[in-house]
Amino acid sequence: MTRFLHDQFAKQYLSELLSPLGIVETSKDIHPEGRQIDVLFTPSSSNPKRRQNLGLLGRLTATPALFEPFRNPITQNDVRTCMMKLFVLLAELEREENRTKIPIGDREIPKLWILTPTASLSFLHSFSAVASSKKDEQGIYYLSTSWNTAIVVIHQLPKTTETLWLRLLGRGNVQKQAVKELEALPKENHLRENVIKLVRELIALLTKRQNRERDLDRDDKELIMTLTQMYEEAMAEVRQEIRQEIRQEAMAEFLQQGLQQGLQQGLQQGLQQGKEEGRGEGEKEATRRLIENIFRVRFGAIDDELAAIIEPIMKLSSEEFTPLLLQLSCEELIQRFREEV
């Protein structure tokens, strides 16, 4: 995955998770350097339950924070650049303090969290970064207090639910395992559904790049397979739920008809017909939703032209139309299926 794609996903991902807890600013310009802070977070919610649901990530956002996520292991220059962003932001806060005459408290000064998949001990020692003494912060290394900076080595984090939301920003097997844990979360977990939506977008981006450039590394190819499998399983669950709902409605309707005509005969006919019609309608509705979801992820809103080709696409099997929907452009899809409308 290129750094651009990882940055885009990481910013959307952190914004989705943190926005209920406060103000999230992504790609915030800092002057005069012409650089951008990846994610700037200012807490505003005192809801402890929501913060607790994010585990370790939630605890990192108890005070204002800068997040700088990296796909590849950080370099010394990366750390210096991140710290420069922090210093420029602190200078802006000092100017605001001088203008308003309102002192800035220590808890209002942002903490810089640099997220990296790996980092050697010699690299960490070069910045005098010390491992956290807290048992639940394994994998976090703090620079001297006055620097207000810490390095989070994602691949050193314990494999627990507390670290899940940070490990999803790792790479290779660490990210793959985190995705599997995300899939296993209870369906009622609202964060699960929101993140799966972002995962769908990531699948589309990665697949599009893979088809165009064919230069993804092994980690990214394995990630595409894992994410695609997770998405397909999630859609299978949706189809099953729809089939079950429609089957139950159909069975109830035909059972009532059967009772009116004669209890025994109506019961048999109603159950059989309900099963057949419920199955067919459920599969059809699930297929339509799958196509519409892919359209929304890739093209945004579904206009009249896209809506018109949904029915022709549904005539194909999911194995046939899914690659087409992920690979062809909007114009190519419309041209291919318009003649069948």
Same domain, 260 and 114: no
Number of domains, the chain:
2
Q: Using the predicted structure, report yes or no on whether residue 1 has a pLDDT greater than 50.
A: no
Of 170, 201, 216, the position where a domain reaches its end is: 170
Q: What is the pTM of this model?
A: 0.64
pLDDT tier at 239 (50, 70, 90 boundaries)? low
pLDDT of residue 120: 96
Within a domain: 262: yes
Within a domain: 200: no
pLDDT per residue as tens digits for the range 282-297: 677 778 877 887 787 6
pLDDT tier at 302 (50, 70, 90 boundaries)? confident
Same domain, 24 and 151: yes
pLDDT per residue as tens digits for the range 53-67: 899 999 999 999 999
Of 140, 170, 200, the position where a domain reaches its end is: 170
* Residue carrying structure tokens 């048999």: 268
Q: Using the predicted structure, report yes or no on whether residue 246 has a pLDDT greater than 60.
A: no
Same domain, 57 and 163: yes
Instruction: Mark 170-183 as b/e (b = at least 16 C-beta within 10 Å).
Output: bbbebbbbbbeebb
Residue 291 tokens read as 């196509």
Instruction: Mark 115-139 as b/e (b = at least 16 C-beta within 10 Å).
Output: bbbbbeeebbeebebeeeeeeebeb
Q: What 3-state DSSP class applies to 110?
A: coil
The larger pLDDT score, comparing residue 290 to residue 244, is at: 290
For the chain, helix (H) and strand (E) counts, in that order, are: 14, 7
Please tell me whether the peptide bond between 43 and the residue prior to it is cis, using omega within 30 degrees of 0: no
Contact assessment for residue 57 and residue 166, using Cβ atoms and an 8 Å cutoff: yes
Q: Report the run of H or E that residue 198 belongs to, with start and end.
A: helix 190-213
Of 170, 185, 201, the position where a domain reaches its end is: 170
Same domain, 120 and 244: no
Lowest mean pLDDT among 143-157, 200-214, 299-313: 200-214
Contact assessment for residue 194 and residue 203, using Cβ atoms and an 8 Å cutoff: no
Domain extent for 279: 226-338
Within a domain: 183: no
**DSSP sequence for 263-275:** HHHHHHHHHHHHH
